[in-house]
Every structure is written in structure tokens, then in C-alpha cells.
Amino acid sequence: MVQMPLRRDGSFLLLGRDPRVDGPPTPDAPVPDWIQADPRRIRRALERARSQNGGGWFVLGATRSLREKPQKFTVVGRDLVAWMGPDGPRVAPDACPHMGASLSCGGRVDADGHILCPWHGLPLGARKHGVWAPLLAHDDGVLTWVRLDAELAPGESPTASPILPPRPSNFLDAVIRVEARCAPEDVLANRLDPWHGAHFHPHSFGRLHVVGEDDDSITVRVIYRIGGRLGMEVDARFHCPDPRTIVMTIVGGEGVGSVVETHATPIDEGRTAVIEATLATSERLPSLSKAPAFVRDLVAQRAARLWGEDAEYCERTYALRKQRQDRRLLRVLDATEELDAE
Ligand code: FES
Ligand SMILES: [Fe+2]
């Protein structure tokens, strides 16, 4: 039986280690959240994140899901198929080089790790076949990534493998995937605004204070609600290791070293896949990684609930930005017509 300290704090009953013991003090008179959530502050943090090199890598999804059957993914408008080969995940264009069949739609994987085209059985694997060529893939142990050299952003240069944030050595992982009508920058901006947490997700978060900030990260002290007034207070640091990822790391309280990686993969113009991996660790629960599947499902359900709401937030910021861009374009067109008429 795991024993955890319990303390009363205002209206909350807090379980587990107090992050104040080894961490920074909580501000006495915090500035209201709506003032702290300064759009210019969030924009500056976003610009710093987006100026980093992502090496051309994009997260596709949980590696675990590829073990079941080939999967289809669309990244920057390109349809891809991913499947599990003998030496790890393989990713390639989702169109057979013979007559164009979708490989993800009925393709089977043979004993040698080839994907067999569902129309006429052409085996395709690690080798190029005509115009069809596999892409560079990477399995980081939880997620599968693909490198798309044709999609490098200005200033981005290819790297041999994705830029991975530090992870705990022993963890329970849960991966969710949500799609939203927005751009990857909206996903990062959502997480760079921690101040919305207790207001927009009151079922999951209690009190929240910023307890540290520098050019590359922001650290908040936040109460995760377990249920009702019962919660757990932790210090969580947010940073962006690449232009399409934001990572939350628990740095104080219970579960130090646990991470939540939020990856934003562009599907197409105005559509983004959010792939979020929670890697939970605990000194008190050394066998957490062997927890039954339902524990992973519970973690995933909680993350999916938050993303159901955060997708709305991201879609709203994207729609507002588009409206502003459209209005600006209309003004430019009007000015051009006036000049032509003179
Ligand atoms: S379309 Fe794939 S083998 Fe013919
Ligand atoms: Fe949120």
C-alpha cells in the first residue's frame, strides 16, 4: 500500500509532496491571470519556439498502434502509410507505384516486413520501387516520427534523428491523437498560455501561479484536481524543444520527471493533428510501467477531455487570426483598386 502525505490548504486537500519544500516560494499577491496572459508575452514565447530547428521531423502517432496494422497519416498534404517492419517502423507514400492503390487501405504486412499492395500484391519494403521510395522514420520508443525533407521550414536543416526532450527512464505511457481546425502554432500558443488552465478546465485544475520564467521556459505551480477538493500540487515547467512540440515536465511535488509531450503535426492548411504522449513516473510506484492497460486508458481519457476543450481554444485563435488576415488582404486590394482608378 502506497502511503502519501495529506495536507489542507485553503479549500483544498492536497495529496503528496509539497513542491514548496524544495521549490521557489509561491507569489503572495499574484497579478490576475487575465493580465499575466499578455498576448504579446505569449507571442514572443511562440516566436522563440518557432525559430528552432525541428530537423524536418514530424510525429505521426504511437508506435504501439503500428503493431496492429498499417496506418494512414496525412502530413503537410502528403498521404503516407506507416507499418511495422522487422527493424522498426517504416513510412512511405500511401500510393502503390503500380496503379496507385492506397497501401493503408487493406495492405497487409508479410513475414519479411513488406507491405503487400491490396490490389495486385506488389511487395514494398525498405527499397525504392520506381517513383515510390520509403522515407526516413524514427521510433523514439513511444512515438513514430517521419522526416520530410521537402517540408523544411526556412532556417530548418535536416537532422539524423528528432530533437527529443529528456524523458524518465521508467514510465507509464499513454498517447492520444486529436485533430483540430488550426495551425501548429495555435497548439503551441495554447500551452504557452498556462493561465487559462484553472478558468477553462476547472474540472482538472485548481489554483495556478507562475513561479519561474526565463527566455526558454515558464514554470507554474498548479493543483491537479483528483476529484472534488482533493488534488495534488506540482511545479510544472513548459518548454519547446522544437518548433512543433511543447513539453511539460514535473519539476517539483509528486511525480518529478514525468513529462507530457504535445506534438503538433500539420495535416493540411488549417488542420493539425495533436499527438500528446504522457510519460508518468513515480518514485513511490517503481512498477508503474507495468500497470494494467486500464490505467493507461484512464490517463488517456483525462488528456482527451482536456484536448476536447483545448481544440476549441485553438480553433478560435486560428479563426480570429484568419479573419484579421482576410481583412488586411481586403484593405490591400481596396487600396490597389483605388490606385488603379487614379
Ligand atoms: S496497384 Fe498495387 S500492385 Fe497493382
Ligand atoms: Fe488547456
Nearest CA to ligand 1 atom 3: 120
The enclosing H or E element of 322 equals helix 293-341
- Which residue type occupies 48? R
pLDDT of residue 284: 85
Ligand 1 pocket, CB under 6 A: 96, 98-99, 101, 117, 119-120, 122
Grid cell, residue 217, equals: 521556459
> How many CB atoms lie under 10 A from the CB of residue 304?
14
Instruction: Name the pTM for this structure.
Output: 0.93
Specify the range with the lowest mean pLDDT, choosing from 143-147, 154-158, 247-251.
154-158
Kindly report the average pLDDT of the chain as a whole number. Answer: 93
* 290-313 residue pLDDT tens: 888 898 999 999 999 999 999 999
Q: Whose atoms come closest to the Cα of 123: which ligand? A: 1
Nearest CA to ligand 1 atom 1: 99
pLDDT of residue 1: 62
Q: How far is ligand 1, taken at its centre, from the CA of residue 309, in Å?
A: 42
Between 276 and 198, whose confidence is greater?
A: 276
* 2-14 residue pLDDT tens: 678 999 998 999 9
Q: Which atom of ligand 1 is nearest to the CA of 118?
A: 2
Specify the range with the lowest mean pLDDT, choosing from 48-62, 142-156, 268-282.
142-156
pLDDT of residue 175: 97
- Nearest CA-CA partner of 191 in 246, 260, 270, 251: 246
Q: Which atom of ligand 1 is nearest to the CA of 122?
A: 3
- Let me know if 23 is exposed, middle or buried by CB neighbors in 10 A (0-12, 13-18, 19+): middle
* 208-224 residue pLDDT tens: 999 999 988 999 999 99
Decide: 264 and 45 in contact? Cβ < 8 Å.
Answer: no
Q: How far is ligand 2, taken at its centre, from the CA of residue 290, in Å?
A: 29
Neighbouring residues of the ion ligand 2, judged by CB less than 5 Å: 310
Q: How far is ligand 1, taken at its centre, from the CA of residue 305, in Å?
A: 41
> How many CB atoms lie under 10 A from the CB of residue 151?
16
Best of 102, 119, 124 for a ligand 1 pocket test (most atoms within 8 Å of beta carbon): 119
Q: Does residue 339 carry a pLDDT above 80?
A: no
pLDDT of residue 160: 97
- Which residue type occupies 272? T
Grid cell, residue 51, equals: 525559430
Q: How far is ligand 2, taken at its centre, from the CA of residue 278, in Å?
A: 15
- Nearest CA-CA partner of 266 in 185, 149, 176: 185
Name every residue whose Cβ is closer than 8 Å to that of residue 314 and which is 6 or more positions away in sequence: 180, 182, 186, 187, 189, 190, 272
- Nearest CA-CA partner of 138 in 189, 206, 66: 66
pLDDT of residue 124: 98
* 238-285 residue pLDDT tens: 999 999 999 999 999 999 999 999 999 999 999 999 999 999 998 888
Angle at 25 between CA 22 and CA 27, to 5 degrees: 160
Q: How far is ligand 2, taken at its centre, from the CA of residue 193, in Å?
A: 8
pLDDT of residue 189: 97
- Which residue type occupies 117? C
Q: Whose atoms come closest to the Cα of 186: which ligand? A: 2
Q: In the chain, count H helices and then E strands.
A: 6, 18
Q: Does residue 171 carry a pLDDT above 90?
A: yes
Q: 143 phi and psi, to 5 degrees? A: -120, 150
Domains and CATH numbers, the chain: 6-52+163-308 (3.30.530.20), 59-151 (2.102.10.10)
d(CA 190, CA 42): 9
Residue recorded with cell 537532422: 159
Q: Does residue 120 carry a pLDDT above 80?
A: yes
Q: Does residue 21 carry a pLDDT above 70?
A: yes
* 172-184 residue pLDDT tens: 999 999 999 999 9
d(CA 274, CA 307): 8
